[in-house]
Structure 1
């Protein structure tokens, strides 16, 4: 999830089964699309770092645009390409499914991720901006 506020954007990752709660500040110069993609990539990297193997993993997102971009066979976006690479790495030892869920529709996981993203959007980023390269 990735709300955009007056102070910036943020990504929120919530996975209670693996005790993953990440609020990642992304700064003022990023789009919601970029933040949503970073959220998926960060979730995948968190699972890779925990050496998750042999699981059926559902990655839920309320961003149809990012999910559509991830299903295309070609891309000019380095961010989408990096997300693809991370997903392929996780898929080597797990069954990974990307699933669209309706946002703001009383979904506990989505609501928790949105709240983490809101918190992250209000934080200052460490280092110079833009955090995510502008395409």
Structure 2
């Protein structure tokens, strides 16, 4: 293996932590409620500091423009991360058209980095590579819970 591709591989047997969800749950997807702050294209980050700086820049830019956060549901599964708009459903209307509610869908292999803000533990982001343009996009969210 070339020197630049060597990784510190960890044996999973030594990990004594219990998983929060079972394997089957990830097949169907795990739902989280959050607010979508915004996203911007970013250059390929080289350090965690650059990622946190991009995350904070997005937060402050959207706050300065007075753009409201959108209520979303985030679904994490083996297929990737889906972000869907949460809307109040009318009582009589039981149809669920996911295509109208889907904001973004990023397959796992395109997700470059996931991080949270150490100053506000409710804020987290992930950086995903766009398939067509090969650029990196940082998506910032605010969770309901820590």
Taking structure 1 as the reference length, what is the TM-score of the superposition? 0.29
Which structure dedicates a bigger proportion of its chain to strand? 2
More relative contact order, 1 or 2 (CA 8 Å, 6+ apart): 1
Larger radius of gyration: 2
